[in-house]
Structure 1
Amino acid sequence: MTDNTLTLPDTQDLLKQIHFESSEGKIWLEEQRMLLIHSAVMGLLRKELIQTMGVERAKGFLIRFGYHTGWRDAELAKKIRPDMSHEEAFMVGPQLHAIKGMVKVTPKALDFDVESGHFFAEFDWHNSHEVEAHLANYGNSDMPVCWTLIGYASGFSSYYMNRQILFKETQCAGTGSDHCHIVGKPAEEWEDHKEHEKYLLPDPMIEQIMALQSEVSDLKDKFRSPDVEEDILINSVGHSGAFKNICHLIRKAAKSRVTVLLQGETGVGKEIVARGLHTSSDRAEQAFVAVNCACIPPDLIEAELFGVEKGAFTGATQTREGKFERANQGTIFLDEVIELTPHAQAALLRVLQESELERVGGTRTRHIDVRVIAATNEDLEVAVQEGRFRADLFYRLNVYPIYIPPLRERTEDIPLLIEHFLKKHCTLYNKKTAGISDKAMLALNQYKWPGNIRELENMIERGVILTDNNQTIGLTSFFPSLSEPSHPLNVINTQGQLAEQPQTPVPSDPGSLDKLLSDDFSLEALEKQLIDSAMEQVNGNVSKAARKLGLTRPALAYRLKKMQENN
């Protein structure tokens, strides 16, 4: 392709993706949060990086910064322009460069094929913000200075082509030329590609600092006093005040053998807290046995918990110990303790009071040393009043209650939990994502989480499964039913915090509407005319027609099918 054939497509489709949400202090480009920053301030940052890190390290830092920015923008290209040619979709990058005020881009040559991997491109740059900043601080340079911009072009093209593309600045206004000129090719086609690819690698200085930090952390661990040792939970999945309070209570309980009652909604992580308590106690080397009382049939629950002697009942063909005996010297976690039968409640009370039990069908009393952690998502005090739970057992369990707040009351922990579950499920599915879009993160933080941490983990797992490698997880990957009015997240939309770009209002003339609404008016016929007109304007392209009509593509496809059936 030559400079005579290269033209930039209209930018309206890109400008429509920009949404200013000034009441919330946010700017959106599709699902990514953007910033408006003074160019002069970026120049000061550049200057400080050069003074602090030196030219070469500052150059590498800014190239990587630009590379990741271009990579993110390349994800938009195929979303925004799914029906355009590859060349027009590729121009999202150069056009966003201009829209963001970074540089004016003029394409001179572009020839690429995604299938074969062939790529060659030439662009002219005018009004580079990096040139202005460098000239203001240092004057003319003896080497090209558009480091962030060259990183952006390489990152955008590498994502788009699914292979490493490197751009080089063959002339630069920062060295005295009239304008900048860049050339892009696959990395291996540059003789000195290794020299340029090194700028995309992590800076050894950062690795050195991280290594030193790790050594300091190890030293702190070795010399930390046991009296101030923090529970492992604080360092893993929470830093909110509510979470730290839980950890404080756990540390206090861990030093004794007191019975603990965990209360909270389903999915808040009661078993994780129970395991944390066990791990923090002097019983950590012994067994931790978890029992969900709701999963055991009522007529078998005593045998499961306390053991059974052979011949005690039909089906008891052998003697076996119960969960309590297996947890001896350790900890037993009784989840959904409210589901225990009255007889099992009496047996549990005896274990708590006397530290002894008898197997079902047995006559021998067995001494048991076990820490009991009970949990329920119901109010046991109410259950006592209703006669569903023994009052004496409740008072025995309620010696040391710990309330675990729902996720909606500890939203500060959501980003940490998301990061934790992303690592877990990316490893599980052998995938690597580019993180979560800013709008999706906002939605996850504002959602009320009726299923709490369990629901969050399931949602993150879904997002990892649905997202291709190296792509950002978007809003719809987490919330598949967002289009349904009943979905909780639509409350956010009504408040304007996640509202999409408002549609241009259709002008209405009351007189015209009165004429339209005659006795023989047909809404179905009007809808058909609108759809036919939209399809005609876009030469039958369903996706483009849907955008014109303000519909989703599936919604328009359904209407078209219905119209064909009626004909």
Structure 2
Amino acid sequence: MRLPEIDDLASRLRFSLRDGRVWLDTQRVAVIHLATLASLRRELSDTLGFQKARGVLTRMGYSSGVRDAALARKLRPHHDVRDAFLVGPQLRVLQGILMMEPVRLEIDVAAGHFYGEFTWPECFEVDAHLSDYGISPVPVCWMQTGYVSGYTTAFMGKTVLYREVECCAAGQRQCRIIGQPLECWGAEYLDEDLSAMQPEGFVNRFAGRRRLHAVASPPAAQDVMDMVGASSGFVAACHLLGKVAKTDATVLFLGETGVGKELFAQTLHRISRRADKPFVAVNCAAIPENLIESELFGVERGAFTGAIQSRPGRFERANGGTLFLDEVGNLTLTAQVKLLRAIQEKEIERVGDTHARKVDVRIIAATNVNLNEAVEAGRFRGDLLFRLKVFPIRIPPLRERRDDIPLLLDHFLHKFTSAHGKKITGFTPRAMDALYEYEYPGNIRELENLIERAVILGEDGYPIDLVHLFTFDEKKSAADFLHLGQGGELRTPEEQAEGPLPGGVVDQLLGCGMALEEIETRLMERAVERARGNLSSAARSLGMTRPQLAYRLKKLHKDHA
């Protein structure tokens, strides 16, 4: 199986000598020594051990693959899906990483079907491992398998896992990988290969993996919300979560609306020493000021009109476990005073009671408000902020986690097809483009709602398209997502993909006195010449189909005869 011509990709690599930058289309890249990557690999392996080093390098490759997939759809928008997909392997050639040869490639984005098999004769990871550690009992091309997993997952809109089944570092004559959707792999393959995608044990347990174990797993275990992501900001937040889970320290989650603060709080409780105790959540913004004290601390019978029986508050109900104070920045100053005392003294008094009750509660708080600014403005108590901000964790917005979008799409698609009994096959390429480019002011919550709506509107046996995603007041088509051109003009993705024709070339064409028909003839003949007579390849380079090119050439020769 031959790769398409690479000229269209090579033309996108530009060196800006004035400011010391290298660009691959609109992405800034760098030319570095492979010895530098080999040194990084050795340092990670020696410091963290092979398993953790593999995870770091696999996720690095995954993020790179996700970004190249977005570039692939942009650079070959008019080509068939196979040639568009093969941008990934060709970019690895252009980047000087390796020569990846396709052996077998079955791809149907609309049906959600994928099977890919690739080989390469050598790889810097193999050379680095053999030089540092000798022959390996297991495959070692970690960055490359991560890259193709991320690339294919982003291209397909569903999680695709590659496994390296042969490796030169293990004594085989070539490296060989096989990739297919997660649910197609047998359960015996998942634990080791999926662990490389898990920065922490509670992250990326994957919908496909749960499907395989659905019969053996109790329903409660399957209903636990999954933490999904591989981007650097998300991984950093998860690392902090894993660190603080071993303690009883107060945690403050910071982030915009919809980033998943409550899911982080639930996960923290689930992996902590208090996991078998209650997790009680309270939305501080939803409780009226005159009820906040009774809601948090409880009430004794007869304390006020309507208090016909004693009732424990949220602190007592969470005793021994975790109390999650969501939207804590919206508490009134009066409520803040009472909350501060409860946290400091670790005791509460019910409304209408005369004695204090000791409580053992871990406090987790969350807010989308800048509490430092609120303190300066007098809307939030500084002493309470110091009590809450023992261990702050910032959760990045989705626009800073674009590498996670393919994983999230697959996660939510499985969730809602199961919930609503639908059989949606995946996403169309233009739906993927729109979902990747969208800004998500509502973050993860908005993405989740978009996918649920699309699943409900979509037809069984077909992929989700743009019409299923966006309502009248939202983005409706890929043309809504504009980019800034080199001349400062706004361009659609199709226009951006075509790229600007250098002004000097246009001036030369106009100055040579050639007729438009002659220019077209020369272009077609030169394209066929460069493709060594291969009309399909020549047609792709001109942005047309083979029948269109054949018809024009036939007409041209007939006119000249």
| CA distance in 1: counterparts of 2:314 and 2:411, whole angstroms | 31
Taking CA–CA contacts closer than 8 Å with sequence separation of 6 or more, which of the two structures ends up with the larger relative contact order? 2
Is the Cα contact below 8 Å between 1:288 and 1:331 reproduced in 2? yes
In structure 1, distance between residues paired with 2:328 and 2:260: 16
The one of 490, 496, 502 aligned to 2:492:
496
Q: Which amino acid aligns with 1:368?
A: V
TM-score by length of 1: 0.51
Deviations 1:443-463 (A, max 9, x none): 211111100000000001111
Cα distance in 2 for partners of 1:461, 1:499 equals 31
Q: Structure 1 residues 329, 267: CA separation in 2 closer, same or farther (over 3 Å shift)?
A: same
Distance 1:273 1:29, change over 3 A: same
Residue of structure 1 in register with 2:40 after alignment: none
Structure 2 CA distance for aligned equivalents of residues 30 and 294 of structure 1:
52
Q: After superposition, what is the alpha-carbon deviation per residue over 1:88-125, rounded to whole angstroms, capped at 9, x for unaligned?
A: xxxxxxxxxxxxxxxxxxxxxxxxxxxxxxxxxxxxxx
Alignment partner of 1:369 out of 360, 381, 400? 360
Shift in alpha-carbon separation, 1:233–1:211, aligned structure 2, 3 A: closer
Unaligned runs of 5+ residues in structure 2 are 1-10, 13-24, 26-70, 91-98, 114-178, 206-226, 485-489, 499-561
Identify the match of residue 320 of structure 2 among 320, 329, 347.
329
Name the counterpart of 1:134.
none
- Looking at structure 1, the residues matched to 394 and 244 of structure 2 have their Cα atoms a distance apart, in angstroms, of 14
2:37 maps to: none
| 1:294 counterpart letter in structure 2 | A
1:347 alignment partner AA: K
Structure 1 unmatched runs, 5+: 1-20, 50-60, 74-202, 222-227, 503-567
Structure 1 residue 345: Cα displacement? 1.2
- What secondary structure, in the 3-state scheme, does the structure 2 residue paired with 1:315 have? coil
Give the C-alpha shift of residue 210 in structure 1.
2.5
Question: Is 1:480 paired with 2:471?
Answer: yes
Matched, 1:233 2:209: no
Q: Cα deviation per residue 1:485-510 (whole Å; 9 max; x = unaligned)? A: 999944359432156999xxxxxxxx
1:432 to 423, 430, 438: 423
Equivalent pair of 2:298/2:312 in contact (CA under 8 Å): yes
Task: Report what 1:35 is aligned to.
Answer: 84
Matched, 1:247 2:223: no
What residue is the counterpart of 1:521 in the other structure? Answer: none
Amino acid of the residue matched to residue 232 of structure 1?
F
Match of 2:257 in 1: 266
1:307–1:216 distance in 2 versus 1, CA, 3 Å: same
Q: Deviations over 1:303-347 (max 9, x none)?
A: 111101111122212110011111111001101112222232122
**Partner secondary structure for residue 300 of structure 1:** helix
Partner of 2:413: 422
- Structure 2 CA distance for aligned equivalents of residues 339 and 400 of structure 1: 20
Rg larger for: 1
- Tell me the residue number matched to 2:369: 378
Give me the whole-angstrom Cα distance separating, in 2, the residues matched to 1:486 and 1:470: 22
In the TM superposition, 1:270-419 aligns within 5 A as 270-419=261-410
Aligned equivalents of 2:274, 2:464: Cα separation in 1: 41
2-structure distance, mates of 1:260, 1:207: 36
The Cα shift of 1:212 comes to: 3.0
Aligned amino acid, residue 245 of structure 1:
A
Contact 2:466–2:476, Cα closer than 8 Å, also in 1: no
- The alignment-based identity, stated in percent, is 47
Change (3 A) 1:363 1:414: same
Equivalence map 1:66-215=2 (5 Å): 68=108, 210-214=186-190
Structure 1 Cα separation of the partners of residues 409 and 294 of structure 2: 40
Distance of 2:476 and 2:469 partners within structure 1: 16
Q: Distance in 2 between matches of 1:398 and 1:405?
A: 18
SS of alignment partner, residue 425 of structure 2: coil
Letter of the 1:27 partner, please give it: R
1:449 is paired with a residue whose SS is coil
Secondary structure of the corresponding residue to residue 290 of structure 1: strand
Match of 1:256, SS state, is coil
After TM superposition, the score normalised by the length of structure 2 is 0.52
Q: In the alignment, residue 388 of structure 2 is paired with which amino acid?
A: L
Per-residue CA deviations over 1:191-246 (Å, capped at 9, x if unaligned) read xxxxxxxxxxxx99x9997343147579x89xxxxxx9924135440111111111
Aligned partner letter, 2:202: I
Q: Which amino acid aligns with 1:333?
A: F
Deviations 1:416-464, CA, capped at 9 Å, x for gaps: 1111100000001101112011221122111111000000000011111
| Contact 2:470 2:476 (C-alpha < 8 Å) held by counterparts | no
- Return the offset for 1:26: 2.6
1:11-70 C-alpha deviation (Å, 9 max, x unpaired): xxxxxxxxxx986553235997853869xx9xxx9x986xxxxxxxxxxx87xx38x479
For the structure 1 residues 307 and 338, does the alpha-carbon distance in structure 2 shift closer, same or farther, using more than 3 Å as the test?
same
RMSD: 4.0
Q: Secondary structure at the match of 2:266?
A: helix
Distance 2:373 2:183 in 1: 56
Is the CA contact 2:302–2:309 (under 8 Å) kept in the aligned structure 1?
yes
| Preserved CA contact (<8 Å) 2:284 2:326 | yes
Helix, strand or coil: the match of 1:257? coil
Q: Secondary structure at the match of 1:333?
A: strand
Amino acid at match of 1:497: P
In 2 relative to 1, CA 207–312 (structure 1 residues): closer, same or farther, beyond 3 Å? closer
**Structure 1 pair 208–35 and aligned structure 2 pair: CA distance change class (3 A):** closer
Distance 1:268 1:70 in 2: 29
Which of residues 449, 465, 468 in structure 2 aligns to 1:458? 449
Shift of 1:388: 1.1
Could you tell me how far apart the structure 2 residues matched to 1:255 and 1:459 are? Answer: 36
Equivalent residue pairs, number: 326
Return closer, same or farther for 1:500/1:246 CA change in 2, 3 Å cut-off. closer
Is 1:446 the equivalent of 2:437?
A: yes
Deviations 1:257-282 (A, max 9, x none): 11111111000000000011111110
Q: 1:486/1:453 Cα in 2 relative to 1: closer, same or farther (>3 Å)?
A: same
Distance 1:28 1:72, change over 3 A: farther
Q: Distance in 1 between matches of 2:373 and 2:275?
A: 34
CA distance in 1, matches of 2:376, 2:292: 24
**Post-superposition CA distance 1:516-561 (Å, at most 9, x none):** xxxxxxxxxxxxxxxxxxxxxxxxxxxxxxxxxxxxxxxxxxxxxx
Distance across 2 between alignment mates of 1:333 and 1:300: 18
Any idea what SS the aligned residue of 1:267 has?
Answer: coil
The one-letter amino acid paired with 1:275 is Q
CA separation of 1:209/1:332 partners in 2, compared to 1, >3 Å: closer, same or farther? closer
Contact 1:492 1:498 in 2 (8 A): no
Contact persistence 1:290–1:334 (CA under 8 A): yes
Following the alignment from structure 2 to structure 1, what is the Cα–Cα distance between the partners of residues 392 and 403?
A: 24
